[in-house]
Amino acid sequence: MATSLKNLSDYDPAKVPSAEDMLFGIVVAEWNIEITGALLKGAIDTLKKHGAKEENIVVKYVPGTFELTMGGRYMAEYKDLDAVICFGCVIQGETRHFDFICHGVSNGITELNLQYDIPFIFGVLTTDDMQQAIDRAGGKHGNKGDEAAITAIKMAALQLEMEEE
């Protein structure tokens, strides 16, 4: 989580396993694409920095954040992936729509983690305004895309480690 005490892009690269032999799926919401596109760029750059090959990064788009769950499910069912990253951005408005979308997508991604044998990474920004989203998509608080990529690598590596024991 980005706070005044932690930047989303700060991490120790020495503590990140190699992603060289891993295959990643990334599902990106088209709603607020200026934000989700920045998250995607951060993730791809970070995955490559840790050895992932471009051809081992599969990117698909869905209309909005709510559809990330189904997009993630399709990724798991049709691709042989080591992890799926889900990127969305929901900005508080004047109605309760924000609450329903955030609740639905967080529960949906949790369910995917429980139903499938691969990690699904929650890369959804839930902010009060556009400036907070910008600050977390490469702005003053770093890029949630970097954090999501690191989480995907670490969780995929953990699963591989557990399978080998």
- Angle, CA 18 vertex, CA 16 and CA 19 arms, to 5°: 110
**CA-CA distance, 74 to 66, in Å (whole number)?**
14
Structure tokens at 103: 């609740």
DSSP state of 147: H
Task: Look at residues 123, 130, 124 and name the one whose alpha carbon lies nearest to residue 149.
Answer: 123
Q: Is 97 a catalytic residue?
A: yes
List, in sequence order, every beta strand (DSSP E) within 38-82. 57-62
Could you say which of 50, 97, 103, 141 is catalytic? Answer: 97
What residues are annotated to the active site?
97
